[in-house]
Amino acid sequence: MRKDDGGGGRSINLALSKRGVSALEVAGVSRDVLEFALPMRARMIHDLDGQTNRQPYHPNPQKYINSISRSGLNIVLLNAAEKYPNVHLQFGHKCKGMDLKSGTLFLENESNGHTIEVNNGPVFATDGAGSPLRDSLVAQVPGATESVDYLEYGYKELTLEALPDGNFAFAPEVLHIWPRGHFMLIALPNPDFTFTCTLFLPYEGEQSFAKLTNQASIEAFFQEFFGDLLPHKPDLVEEFLANPTGKLGTVRCKPWHYEDKLVLLGDAAHAVVPFYGQGMNASFEDCVVMNELMRDDNTAWAERFAKFSEQRIENANAIADLALYNFIEMRDYTADPVFALKRKAEVLLEEKFPEDFASKYSMVSFTNLPYRYAQLRGDLQDRILMEICGQISDLGTFDAATTLARIERESEGLAVH
Ligand SMILES: Cc1cc2nc3c(=O)[nH]c(=O)nc-3n(C[C@H](O)[C@H](O)[C@H](O)COP(=O)(O)OP(=O)(O)OC[C@H]3O[C@@H](n4cnc5c(N)ncnc54)[C@H](O)[C@@H]3O)c2cc1C
């Protein structure tokens, strides 16, 4: 990674939010990472006519998400890890699975094909969404379950170059969204004044990857739906045809551990679709929770792992659901007038009552509240605010204090874990 482009074939940049930053602080590397981060303080909605509408994430400009480079982040983490004398980095070895009973891990040396057996204490499996160690767990633990649900959508990344004068092609400090009903395109800024765009599109159907196979179809599609991008993308067709189409899926499994031998963390345990920008943040939060459990020297590994599974599975399922729902919100609702009014109402409530109100987005992105709580309370708030905003045409008649009182009344007794 530190020798080649390091991108790992996946998204070039990522949205880092509060949970991720909190974890990086615990690891002592937040400054190193935030040094190359770009703030994103709002969504910028691009309609079909090229008109834009800026929707701030929060009235407090200090609450924002960060666009960070995936490879930059990985390099900071690798550099930090190898400074520990008891950390040994072993590249070029592929994990093939594990015999759980004996605790033996099987690694294949990729240069000579030899298998190495390692039996060295607890294994923390962070081998990603396609985790062979999750496969071992599900195959060998009676009653263990897993589901891997792919969306009927794929994604394709495209780079938007800087303008000839060196500036960003679109406004910086925002996450750009082109919502188009059942599909959408987003763009996150990079420090070199480029944007990384991601097109989320069905594999099949009238507007789909299946239809975008040649210059004419790609150009016509972008002309119709993303016309304001075209002048900035002279190499569109070449890049579109050259870049791979990625898969999007949700992984759920239970349990996440086996005795004191194995525990799954990150995408290996709970890959989520990327529409809340939380997969990495949730994975870093796993590390914080595990770190806390490891502070207690009197607790055995098996007990730590059991507590970890218990605490995290419910929250991982919540962010998986929130992320799936946010896709619908981003592609369908961000352009809807009632939704836009509701966003304004949320911002007003957050401005007037910063201690008592946080939108669902804020709870997920700007706090460390459990995801499950953010989901329950957020759903309740959304229902109430959509109902009120459906009955008014602007915020002139919006009664913030009465609305907050209703939200608090109806959310009394909401379970927090
Ligand atoms: C398009 C897209 C956009 C995203 N955007 C965001 C975002 O904005 N914000 C956010 O928080 N999250 C985002 N995510 C999610 C984020 O990428 C993941 O949640 C995060 O990378 C999970 O980290 P991880 O370490 O658990 O797994 P990974 O990052 O997948 O790392 C797994 C590692 O294990 C290695 N590995 C895999 N198999 C083996 C094996 N058999 N043997 C040895 N090593 C192995 C891999 O090479 C890799 O290094 C996005 C994901 C996608 C696909």
Q: Which of 217, 216, 178, 219 is nearest to 200 (CA)?
A: 178
Mean pLDDT across 366-395:
96
Burial of 153 (0-12, 13-18, 19+ CB in 10 A): buried
Closest ligand 1 atom to 155 CA: 1
Mean pLDDT across 352-371:
97
Closest ligand 1 atom to 131 CA: 38
pTM summary value: 0.95
Residue of the CA atom closest to atom 35 of ligand 1: 127
pLDDT tens track for 217-275: 999 999 999 999 999 999 999 999 999 999 999 999 999 999 999 999 999 999 999 99
Instruction: Say if residues 276 and 375 touch (Cβ distance below 8 Å).
Output: no
pLDDT tens track for 9-44: 456 899 999 999 999 999 999 999 999 999 999 999
255, two tokens: 């349990």
**169 alpha carbon to ligand 1 midpoint, in Å?**
29
Strands (E) across 259-342 are located at 262-264
pLDDT tens track for 280-292: 999 999 999 999 9
Query: Which residues, judged by CB distance below 6 Å to any ligand atom, belong to the binding site of ligand 1?
Result: 10-11, 14-15, 94-95, 126-128, 132, 155, 198, 246, 266-268, 274, 277-281, 283
For 1, half-sphere exposure in the C-beta direction (CA atoms, 13 angstrom radius) is: 18
Closest ligand 1 atom to 15 CA: 8
The whole-angstrom separation of Cα 260 and Cα 253 is: 18
Name the residue of 280, 364, 366 whose CB sits within 8 Å of the most ligand 1 atoms, as the mutation to test its pocket.
Answer: 280
Name the residue of 198, 267, 290, 330 whose CB sits within 8 Å of the most ligand 1 atoms, as the mutation to test its pocket.
Answer: 267
Strands of the sheet containing 257-258, edge to edge, are 123-125, 262-264, 257-258
Closest ligand 1 atom to 157 CA: 1
Q: What is the pLDDT of residue 328?
A: 84
For the chain, percent of residues with pLDDT exceeding 70: 97
4/176: higher pLDDT: 176
Mean pLDDT across 50-54:
92
Name the residue of 43, 126, 185 whose CB sits within 8 Å of the most ligand 1 atoms, as the mutation to test its pocket.
Answer: 126
Residue of the CA atom closest to atom 26 of ligand 1: 266
Strand-pair category, 42-46 with 175-179: parallel
Q: Where are the alpha helices (DSSP H) in 245-278?
A: 267-270
Q: Could you tell me the pLDDT band of residue 415, with boundaries at 50, 70 and 90?
A: low
**130 alpha carbon to ligand 1 midpoint, in Å?**
10
The whole-angstrom separation of Cα 131 and Cα 125 is: 8
pLDDT tens track for 324-339: 998 888 777 766 889 8
Longest Cα pair distance anywhere in the chain, in angstroms?
72
Residue of the CA atom closest to atom 4 of ligand 1: 274
Name the residue of 127, 155, 248 whose CB sits within 8 Å of the most ligand 1 atoms, as the mutation to test its pocket.
Answer: 127
